[in-house]
């Protein structure tokens, strides 16, 4: 497996950047900050079944990151079933109700500790999620107080094309006034990794679910770790590698455009 230094060097070479000048960490939410994917898998699978549609719990992990509408449309299209926008809204509403009826989920182990390190390093955490729940910010403030703000979030309600399209991460860069080399993404899903990679952002994958590591690496992950506790433990090494790998920064009037 490549060292962190090799991973950063490969990213810089591929993007023709001089260095990563880190300002922001872009976090996916489900499966990264919250241990919520098992509940999403059950809610999606059972809701689809009630409508004569098939989506296994395992497959939910493959489609994680898509907007709700996109997931429903994909399954319907695969089964040759047509649905109206109103039916899509009803199915997604039912899925949300099924998710809310599941046992409460807590923060992913290691996530709050990592966020504290990120903030102490003077970096800004942002959320990029396919979820469109209205209560999102309230829930984040409960588990991660005073860390996230609505203006530093991109949700499924903000985008037209969800992951794996790069739009969510490109929108986050735009919101933050950032260039791709000024951010790092933390993702757990192949589609999310693919979206971040397509947006040209250095991507750390944390495999917190049942999918094989190869899917995350094939999607374009620059670094792969076994979970959020591992990323929290390795953060200082990664941060220092990012800080020092690469030649001297460009002069202010010679930044990449």
Q: Which residues are catalytic?
A: 28, 30
DSSP string, 170-227: HHHHHHHT--GGGEEEEE-SHHHHHHHHHTT-EEEEE--SSS-HHHHHHTT-SEEESS
Name 226's Cβ contacts closer than 8 Å, sequence gap at least 6.
206, 207
Distance, C-alpha 96 to centroid of its chain: 19
What residues are paired with 102 via a beta bridge?
none
Place of tokens 């994917």: 37
CA–CA gap between residue 4 and residue 140 (Å, rounded): 30
Both tokens of residue 154? 């991109």
The span from the CA of 201 to the CA of 185, in Å, is 7
d(CA 74, CA 69): 9
What distance in Å separates the CA atoms of residue 125 and residue 102, rounded to the nearest whole number?
28
What whole-number distance in Å separates Cα of residue 109 and Cα of residue 239?
Answer: 20
Dihedral of the alpha carbons of 71, 77, 80, 85, in degrees to the nearest 10? 70
Collapse the DSSP code of 2 into the 3-class scheme (helix H, G, I; strand E, B; otherwise coil) and give the result.
Answer: coil
């Amino acid at each position: 497996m490549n060292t962190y230094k090799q991973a950063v060097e490969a990213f810089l070479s591929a993007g023709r950047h001089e260095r990563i000048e880190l300002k922001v960490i872009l976090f996916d939410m489900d499966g990264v900050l919250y241990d919520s994917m098992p509940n999403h898998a059950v809610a999606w699978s059972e809701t689809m079944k009630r409508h004569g549609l098939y989506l296994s719990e395992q497959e939910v992990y493959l489609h994680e990151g898509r907007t709700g509408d996109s997931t429903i449309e994909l399954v319907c299209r695969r089964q040759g079933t047509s649905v109206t926008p109103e039916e899509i809204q009803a199915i997604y509403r039912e899925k949300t109700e099924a998710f809310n009826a599941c046992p409460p989920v807590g923060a992913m182990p290691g996530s709050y500790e990592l966020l504290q390190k990120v903030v102490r390093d003077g970096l800004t955490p942002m959320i990029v999620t396919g979820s469109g729940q209205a209560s999102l910010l309230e829930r984040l403030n409960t588990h991660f107080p005073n860390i996230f703000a609505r203006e530093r979030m991109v949700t499924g309600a903000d985008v037209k094309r969800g992951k794996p399209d790069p739009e969510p991460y490109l929108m986050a860069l735009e919101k933050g006034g950032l260039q791709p080399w000024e951010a790092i993404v933390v993702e757990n899903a192949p589609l999310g990794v693919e979206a971040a990679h397509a947006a040209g952002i250095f991507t750390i994958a944390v495999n917190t679910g049942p999918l094989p590591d190869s899917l995350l690496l094939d999607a374009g992950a620059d670094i792969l770790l076994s979970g959020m506790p591992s990323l929290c433990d390795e953060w200082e090494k990664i941060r220092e590698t990012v800080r020092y790998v690469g030649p001297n920064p460009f002069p202010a009037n010679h930044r990449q455009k």
